[in-house]
Amino acid sequence: MARLAQLVVDSRRPAQLARFWAAALDGYEIRPYDDDEIARLASMGRTPDTDPSVILDGPSVEICFQEVEVPLLRKRPLHLDIATPDRAGERARLTALGASVVQEFEHHSWMRDPEGNDFCITED
């Protein structure tokens, strides 16, 4: 039987999107860069801010944001649901971080992250 090890998100700007999701999700943070990784990026003309593959470590599955020319779609076939006891407060916090509200429903808010990826905030 297999286990889910990593969720991979195609992104035009992986570092920026990873920072948004690190701030959005409890217990997730960007994997630290050591000297070897910074040197590897520099050899490609990159920095942690332009890293083509950024990992978020968290309490369950890791999330990888990889640089890809992502076509703009009106609705994506996969989205995340995040749960909170204070949906209005979380919606305001995530909007301040760059998310946008698409539509409000009775028990959830349909939103988009700064790159237009769909997600919902549900009530705990």
Closest-CA residue to 97 (of 85, 112, 118, 84): 112
User: Same domain, yes or no, for 106 and 45?
Assistant: no
Task: State which residues form the domain around 105.
Answer: 77-124
- Per-residue pLDDT at 124: 87
User: d(Cα 5, Cα 34) in Å, to the nearest integer?
Assistant: 22
Residue 35: CATH number of its domain: 3.30.1900
What is the DSSP-derived secondary structure letter of residue 50?
G
- Same domain? 90 vs 52: no
Same domain, 124 and 86: yes
In tens, the pLDDT along 9-27 reads 999 999 999 999 999 999 9
Is the same domain home to 55 and 92?
no
DSSP letters for 15-31: HHHHHHHHHHSTT-EEP
25 shares its domain with 52:
yes
User: pTM value?
Assistant: 0.90
Same domain, 44 and 3: yes
The pLDDT tens digits of the residues spanning 33-75 come to 999 999 999 999 999 999 999 999 999 899 999 999 977 777 7
